[in-house]
Structure 1
Amino acid sequence: MSDQDKDLEQEIIEKEQTDDAPDTNKDEKDGYEDICYICRRPESKAGKMIKIPNNICICRDCMQKTFDSMSGSGFNLGDFNPANMGFGNMPNISMINLSDLQGMLPKSQQIKKKKPKEKKEKPALDIHAIPAPHKIKASLDEYIVGQDYAKKVMSVAVYNHYKRVASEANDDIEIEKSNMLMVGPTGSGKTYMVRTLAKLLDVPLAITDATSLTEAGYIGDDIESVVSKLLAAADNDIEKAERGIIFIDEIDKIAKKRNTNQRDVSGESVQQGMLKLLEGADVEVPVGASSKNAMVPMVTVNTRNILFICGGAFPDLDNIIKERLNQESSMGFKAALKDQYDEDENILQKVTVEDIRTFGMIPEFIGRLPILFSLEALTEDMLVRILKEPRNAILKQYQKLLEMDEVKLEFEDEALHAIAKKAKEKKVGARALRAIIEEFMLDIMYEIPKDDNIGKVIITKEYIEKTGGPVIMMRGCPELEEKSVI
């Protein structure tokens, strides 16, 4: 190595020692880690960074490799001066300005620094601040109609999980995770229940879909991408993400494929890859991307205290349950009939672990989801309550829209039952309600702004069934209070 190379390396070493000293002028208000400009590793992985001009950081390994490459090739650092290389006299040619590259790392790939571990008298999550199960269920009742058993199971499971997170593991008894598997028909409120629960607890929540997950090395999202989404929801704060909730929807889509001759890269192999996530392990996840192959920083997240909730509609699971229940039927005058369960809408509530295994979920995967429960099928009365009772009910949303035009909107009880009956026929759960209301509210929302004299609109059963029209009353009409409406 030449004397000039040694002098430059000595200057960098002295600068690195200076960086190790406390710097009172350093701005750490953002609290994000430094990322190596070359290998994209964060400071927690690569060690102390070497800062060169223009706020660019390089780790020690990359800097050493750079010196080794230059020394082995006989390159003289003194010749790297642009003035000596003759570029200044050549038109339209200039050296790269590194200051233009310092902002290339987006914020979604920046990692927050971990707080130094200190002895604290109280844990990060106060066990006394966790609401009791009955308070959690009472809060869910304000947003979700029915499903009392499902709300009770989720309230107790979440309460026990965060007691486990908050408790100090000083004794010999280690509390296991209470991951959940919910089964319910489409439109019964599985995703909405989890989203409401996370909002009430004020914890980071990641809602992901299992349909895009594939085995590592195949086109699709890696299994670790579910944790990457939780990290993004926690603003790249690893400690906050390690106490969050991950809801994996459409979990039935990763069941074992039957009668297939090709490799099952999106079925059983995905279940096997998720075992370590559900049980709790240190996994390396990409920051700001869904694939490990992307040139993004990698961080280690411990999933031991992450609550996993899996949900799915499990189509044709009712046939498996009926087949199991009908095995007990026999012949005779008082024997149980084989078609006694055909009209049972809540057949999914009789689900067992054996039924889920027959559907295509492997035993190891089911064993890591110890809490199994199902949601009720929505009846016509429940659909009517969904229309008007929740805090953000659909009817209240449209009433607020018309209030901005100073018009009152009211619905007759018979009209609500007509809407619920139409939604029941579509067999898509509560999702059909808004589509039906949008259909007959289109003309009303279009015509009302034309006339400033309209004071009230009453939706009738005849209008829903397309045998009549809505009742429109003008301002100052003495008959405004004659009809009994909701």
Structure 2
Amino acid sequence: MSEEYNKNDKNDNIETEFTEENHTDIQKEDVSDTAAAEEAAQDSDDDDDYEMICCMCHRPESKAGKMITMPGGIVICSDCMQKAFDTFDKNGSPYGVNVNIPGNGQGGLDLSGLSNMPGVGVINLADLGLGEREIPKNQKVKKKKAKDEKPKFDRRVIPAPHKIKKMLDEYVVGQEKAKKAISVAVYNHYKRVGSDNADGVEIEKSNMLLLGPTGSGKTYLVKTLARLLDVPLAIADATSLTEAGYIGDDIESVVSKLLAAAGNDVEKAERGIIYIDEIDKIAKKRNTNTRDVSGESVQQELLKMLEGSEVEVPVGANSKNAMVPMTTVNTTNILFICGGAFPDLEEIIKERLTKESSIGFKAELKDKYDKEENLLCKAEIDDLRKFGMIPEFLGRLPVLVSLEALTKEFMVRILKEPRNAILKQYEKLLQMDEVQLLFEDEALEAIAEKAMEKHTGARALRAILEEYMLDIMYEIPKDDNIGRVTITRAYIEKTGGPIIDMRGVMRLGVHA
């Protein structure tokens, strides 16, 4: 009896162990199934935000109806499929090809008769592993919201103007008036985006026109602003834009760049910023007998886009062609910022300011403004119109912002004050070699003086530093005993060398 009892106990223990193991396996399977289900649900939610586009007519599913997914991930609408088979069978096919397209009230697609055609073999693409492939991303586009749906943009996510300017102060030196004007214009623009027109008051767009000499920081201001606000930004060059139908980039390519920057999210792109640089290059050409396809014509085509219109742009490409799907972007809530150096505009301003000059003790001298550095700050709409910008174009850029020319003091501050200043970048590079880099104040003044001679603004600072730091960056890694390098004015003026301090050794003057 005792032996049988022990055997029964052992069997019960074995059954208990099996049951626990099975229970553990079941729990693992449940967890994995749950995770797979959640992942599938998330994928389906992501897919719900997008709709497919016909690869033939480029119409989205909301316009063309339910799409047909072909082997290999090809998507085509029922209308294009029917047209294709109508063309194929218009003369009557003796081989029994039955075409029934889903969506037209028919049952299905029967191509069995093709096997009877001489010289034709039917290939089953599913055997090649192409039957269940995902739809390519370039054949999907973000679904547009219904027209009667209110915008979900919350203007409270955009900081107040003084906060925007404070953030810009960390990266941009000087240009106080320009930073203040840009902060107010951007804040008012996004208040306009988040507002409703229930009371009948519709706020106009606050597009901007930036004037400033080369290297004064026009593009850098816009880049910093877009990064701080975390909105899509597209930067285009007006020199490559031409009238539609001519060689060059069409106006729609500007919006296409913004759509790409927004990850092909139409709703996000419609709240972005477009910066068109070198806008002065599309001024009206003077004394020409040929068609001005890259000047006044481009200004004319930009008018509706600046004001707000529906623009059809390619998805995932910069040019329109038959193989690229298209989508529609509304530019009503896109902030347009145009910038240019406007060379020779100073002469037009001088002419206006001195037109009342005459002979006498109180007369203004003709050369009164010859040494004026910030003459662009006195620019007016009439001056820009004489420069070659059409009145309709200037009227759609109501905010006129002038940037100051950079002085030697500005250059020194640009070298060391911003968060990502050029000197801080070189200091970080040498810190990786455990070497300290120092600049004497007189050396910074010498660098600024050389930059002023080049007349290219802040861009000259990097070029000058690259020239003088080349030998230092090359020689420092050779000797592990070097602990500190000090750049002097004598080294910048090429009358001496930098001061190199060895680790634990007294400072030695060494000529590079």
Pairwise same-fold verdict (TM > 0.5): yes
CA deviation after TM superposition for structure 1 residue 84, in Å: 3.4
Of 116, 135, 149, which residue of structure 2 is paired with 1:84? 116
Of 475, 484, 503, which residue of structure 2 is paired with 1:456? 484
Q: Give a deviation string over 1:231-269, Cα, whole Å, max 9, x none.
A: 111111111111111000000011000011110001001
Kept in 1, the 8 Å contact 2:71–2:131? The answer is no
Task: Report the Cα distance in structure 1 between the residues aligned to 2:271 and 2:123, rounded to whole angstroms.
Answer: 47
Secondary structure of the structure 1 residue equivalent to 2:142: coil
Task: Report the Cα distance in structure 1 between the residues aligned to 2:477 and 2:78, rounded to whole angstroms.
Answer: 68
Task: Report the Cα distance in structure 2 between the residues aligned to 1:454 and 1:426, rounded to whole angstroms.
Answer: 34
Residue number in structure 2 paired with 1:72: 90
Secondary structure of the structure 2 residue equivalent to 1:261: coil
Residue number in structure 2 paired with 1:42: 60
Task: Report the Cα distance in structure 2 between the residues aligned to 1:161 and 1:327, rounded to whole angstroms.
Answer: 38
CA deviation after TM superposition for structure 1 residue 299, in Å: 1.0
Evaluate the alpha carbon distance shift between residue 103 and residue 475 of structure 1 in structure 2; reply closer, same or farther with a 3 A threshold.
farther
Task: Report the Cα distance in structure 2 between the residues aligned to 1:109 and 1:343, rounded to whole angstroms.
Answer: 58
Residue 279 (str. 1) matches residue 311 (str. 2): no
Of 215, 220, 228, which residue of structure 1 is paired with 2:243? 215
Evaluate the alpha carbon distance shift between residue 161 and residue 336 of structure 1 in structure 2; reply closer, same or farther with a 3 A threshold.
same
Which of 36-45 and 300-309 deviates more? 36-45
Q: Give a deviation string over 1:33-68, Cα, whole Å, max 9, x none.
A: 312233333324433212344443211220221242
Task: Report the Cα distance in structure 2 between the residues aligned to 1:422 and 1:189, rounded to whole angstroms.
Answer: 19
CA deviation after TM superposition for structure 1 residue 289, in Å: 2.4
Evaluate the alpha carbon distance shift between residue 36 and residue 170 of structure 1 in structure 2; reply closer, same or farther with a 3 A threshold.
same
CA deviation after TM superposition for structure 1 residue 478, in Å: 5.0
Q: Give a deviation string over 1:368-392, Cα, whole Å, max 9, x none.
A: 0001121000000000000000000
Task: Report the Cα distance in structure 2 between the residues aligned to 1:25 and 1:461, rounded to whole angstroms.
Answer: 62
Evaluate the alpha carbon distance shift between residue 108 and residue 84 of structure 1 in structure 2; reply closer, same or farther with a 3 A threshold.
closer
Secondary structure of the structure 2 residue equivalent to 1:457: strand
CA deviation after TM superposition for structure 1 residue 476, in Å: 1.2
Residue 197 (str. 1) matches residue 214 (str. 2): no
Evaluate the alpha carbon distance shift between residue 138 and residue 39 of structure 1 in structure 2; reply closer, same or farther with a 3 A threshold.
same
Of 137, 162, 172, which residue of structure 2 is paired with 1:134? 162
Of 41, 46, 71, which residue of structure 2 is paired with 1:29? 46
Coordinate RMSD, CA, aligned:
2.6
What one-letter code is carried by the residue in structure 2 that aligns with 1:128?
R
Evaluate the alpha carbon distance shift between residue 67 and residue 227 of structure 1 in structure 2; reply closer, same or farther with a 3 A threshold.
same
Residue 445 (str. 1) matches residue 477 (str. 2): no
Secondary structure of the structure 2 residue equivalent to 1:458: strand
Query: Aligned ranges for residues 340-351 of structure 1 at < 5 Å?
Result: 340-351=368-379
Task: Report the Cα distance in structure 1 between the residues aligned to 2:418 and 2:349, rounded to whole angstroms.
Answer: 33
Residue number in structure 2 paired with 1:360: 388
Q: Give a deviation string over 1:350-382, Cα, whole Å, max 9, x none.
A: 000000000000000000000112100000000
Q: Give a deviation string over 1:164-199, Cα, whole Å, max 9, x none.
A: 111111111111000000100000000000000011
Residue number in structure 2 paired with 1:227: 255
Task: Report the Cα distance in structure 2 between the residues aligned to 1:255 and 1:102, rounded to whole angstroms.
Answer: 54
What one-letter code is carried by the residue in structure 1 that aligns with 2:502?
M
Task: Report the Cα distance in structure 1 between the residues aligned to 2:132 and 2:452, rounded to whole angstroms.
Answer: 57
CA deviation after TM superposition for structure 1 residue 294, in Å: 5.1
TM-score, structure 2 length as denominator?
0.83
Residue number in structure 1 paired with 2:103: none
Task: Report the Cα distance in structure 2 between the residues aligned to 1:97 and 1:37, rounded to whole angstroms.
Answer: 19
Evaluate the alpha carbon distance shift between residue 25 and residue 345 of structure 1 in structure 2; reply closer, same or farther with a 3 A threshold.
closer
Task: Report the Cα distance in structure 2 between the residues aligned to 1:354 and 1:193, rounded to whole angstroms.
Answer: 26
CA deviation after TM superposition for structure 1 residue 477, in Å: 3.1
Residue number in structure 1 paired with 2:80: 62
Residue 147 (str. 1) matches residue 175 (str. 2): yes
Query: Aligned ranges for residues 306-321 of structure 1 at < 5 Å?
Result: 306-321=334-349
User: Structure 2 regions of 5+ residues with no counterpart?
Assistant: 1-39, 99-110
Evaluate the alpha carbon distance shift between residue 82 and residue 70 of structure 1 in structure 2; reply closer, same or farther with a 3 A threshold.
closer
Residue number in structure 2 paired with 1:174: 202
Kept in 2, the 8 Å contact 1:246–1:307? The answer is yes
Task: Report the Cα distance in structure 2 between the residues aligned to 1:477 and 1:470, rounded to whole angstroms.
Answer: 16
Which of 93-102 and 237-246 deviates more? 93-102
Task: Report the Cα distance in structure 2 between the residues aligned to 1:257 and 1:336, rounded to whole angstroms.
Answer: 32
Query: Aligned ranges for residues 232-271 of structure 1 at < 5 Å?
Result: 232-271=260-299
TM-score, structure 1 length as denominator?
0.87
Secondary structure of the structure 1 residue equivalent to 2:224: helix
Residue 113 (str. 1) matches residue 143 (str. 2): yes
Q: Give a deviation string over 1:390-424, Cα, whole Å, max 9, x none.
A: 00000000000000000000000000000000000
Task: Report the Cα distance in structure 1 between the residues aligned to 2:132 and 2:357, rounded to whole angstroms.
Answer: 73
Evaluate the alpha carbon distance shift between residue 103 and residue 359 of structure 1 in structure 2; reply closer, same or farther with a 3 A threshold.
farther
Kept in 1, the 8 Å contact 2:72–2:133? The answer is no
What one-letter code is carried by the residue in structure 2 that aligns with 1:299?
T
Secondary structure of the structure 1 residue equivalent to 2:51: coil
CA deviation after TM superposition for structure 1 residue 25, in Å: 11
Evaluate the alpha carbon distance shift between residue 466 and residue 103 of structure 1 in structure 2; reply closer, same or farther with a 3 A threshold.
farther
Kept in 2, the 8 Å contact 1:206–1:226? The answer is yes
CA deviation after TM superposition for structure 1 residue 82, in Å: 6.2
Task: Report the Cα distance in structure 2 between the residues aligned to 1:364 and 1:300, rounded to whole angstroms.
Answer: 25
Evaluate the alpha carbon distance shift between residue 276 and residue 105 of structure 1 in structure 2; reply closer, same or farther with a 3 A threshold.
farther
Residue 382 (str. 1) matches residue 414 (str. 2): no
User: Structure 1 regions of 5+ residues with no counterpart?
Assistant: 1-22, 481-486
In the comparison of the two structures, how many residue pairs are matched?
453
CA deviation after TM superposition for structure 1 residue 28, in Å: 5.0
Kept in 1, the 8 Å contact 2:56–2:322? The answer is no
Task: Report the Cα distance in structure 2 between the residues aligned to 1:394 and 1:377, rounded to whole angstroms.
Answer: 19
Kept in 1, the 8 Å contact 2:71–2:133? The answer is no
Residue number in structure 2 paired with 1:4: none
Task: Report the Cα distance in structure 1 between the residues aligned to 2:465 and 2:131, rounded to whole angstroms.
Answer: 52
Task: Report the Cα distance in structure 1 between the residues aligned to 2:201 and 2:334, rounded to whole angstroms.
Answer: 19
Of 308, 321, 324, which residue of structure 2 is paired with 1:296? 324
Secondary structure of the structure 1 residue equivalent to 2:141: coil
Task: Report the Cα distance in structure 1 between the residues aligned to 2:356 and 2:134, rounded to whole angstroms.
Answer: 67
CA deviation after TM superposition for structure 1 residue 224, in Å: 1.1
Kept in 2, the 8 Å contact 1:321–1:355? The answer is yes
Kept in 1, the 8 Å contact 2:56–2:323? The answer is no
Secondary structure of the structure 1 residue equivalent to 2:50: coil
Evaluate the alpha carbon distance shift between residue 294 and residue 370 of structure 1 in structure 2; reply closer, same or farther with a 3 A threshold.
farther
Residue number in structure 2 paired with 1:16: none
